Amino acid sequence: MKKKYRIFILTFFTSFIVLISIGSIFMMMPDKNDKSNHSSMISDAYIPKSQDNLSILLIGRDRSENNALFFTLMRFDAQHAVLSLTGIPTQTQISVGLQNDTLNRYFQRGGAIDAVRAVKQALRVSVDRYALLDENSLITLADSLQGVEFNIRDDMVNESVNIRKGYQLLDGKRFKDIILFDTEYQLDLEMAKELIEQRITPQLIEKADNLFTKITGSIETNISFYDFESRKPALRHWIQNYSSQTEIFTFEGRYSDDTFLLSEDSVIRYRQTVYHLAGTESE
């Protein structure tokens, strides 16, 4: 069970910190040609379309060992106004052509490109972009947002971490220590709501340029400025009209030795729930 708990913690928090850090910058940046006041930013006239959907594979990387620490598939569904976060165990067994290996091994051999290809094959869905993060990235991202305030329910102590329970402001290093802390500590879904309420605010407009510089310098990604620029109406619509609705999907399966075998029923439910695909239908 420890593997499952750690996967949840890593994927859950990294996904939100990346979303908040990158996405909110572009969500909140005013258009250069928009001369109207703040109230005009409300996206009542926006018509959701499939072209605004975007799926990003987030990969936590251990540079010293060329290992993936976690994989999170983040899906922004503009048509249904929801963000979905899904953790995929690093040891998930996947067949690509004649090759059968773990997701981590695909990443080790072929980097993010091969990892994306493997995830697309395993889930039979589209994956548009990737983003690679390491421990320094997590620290930079959290510090760029002036930390995160939340309640630590239990003391977290080992040879390198000493964080006591209680409501507190966590800087980047302590934030990183928590999401990498190797225990069965579960942070619940209420934390997602707290993170969004704290950090996705109009105040980010004032520091958008500095945040963008810091973030793009700390993450290796093929996400382009255009990816978010073109989706600003959809993102504003999601934030202002749907209160940044976010859902977590958890894959079911079983561990066999050192590999994780995805349940086919779970994959089908994922495709139906997150991508709204039926049977063998593709996007």
d(CA 10, CA 194): 17
Burial 47-59 (b: 16+ CB within 10 A, else e): ebeeebbbbbbbb
Q: What is the mean pLDDT of residues 175-188?
A: 60
User: What does the alpha-carbon distance between residue 283 and residue 277 come to, in Å, rounded to a whole number?
Assistant: 7
Element (H, E) at 132: strand 129-133
Quote the CA–CA distance of 193 and 282 in Å, as a whole number: 31
Lowest mean pLDDT among 24-38, 178-192, 231-245, 246-260: 24-38
**What is the per-residue pLDDT for 135?**
84
Q: Which residues lie across from 209 on neighbouring strands?
A: none
Q: What CA–CA distance (Å, rounded) separates 251 from 264? A: 10
- Quick one: pLDDT at residue 185? 36
The token duo for 135 is 């421990």
231: nearest Cα among 105, 102, 128, 126: 128
Q: What is the pLDDT, as a whole number, of residue 55?
A: 97
**Cβ 57 vs Cβ 123: under 8 Å:** no
In Å, how far are 103, 115, 129, 176, 280 from 122, measured between CA atoms?
10, 11, 16, 29, 13
Give the predicted TM-score (pTM) of the model.
0.79
2 burial level (CB within 10 Å; 0-12, 13-18, 19+): exposed
Q: With beta carbons less than 8 A apart as the criterion, state whether 254 and 64 touch.
A: no
- Name the more confident of 199 and 103: 103
Give the 3-state secondary structure of residue 212.
helix
Per-residue pLDDT band at 37 (split at 50, 70, 90) = very low
Q: Identify the band that residue 103 occupies on the pLDDT scale cut at 50, 70 and 90.
A: very high
User: Mind listing the pLDDT tens digit for each residue in 208-252?
Assistant: 556 766 776 788 999 888 887 788 888 878 877 777 778 888 899
Rounded CA Rg of the chain: 19
Q: Mean pLDDT lowest for which of 35-39, 69-73, 105-109, 228-232? A: 35-39
Average of pLDDT values for 35-57?
72
Phi, psi of 48, rounded to the nearest 5 degrees: -60, 140
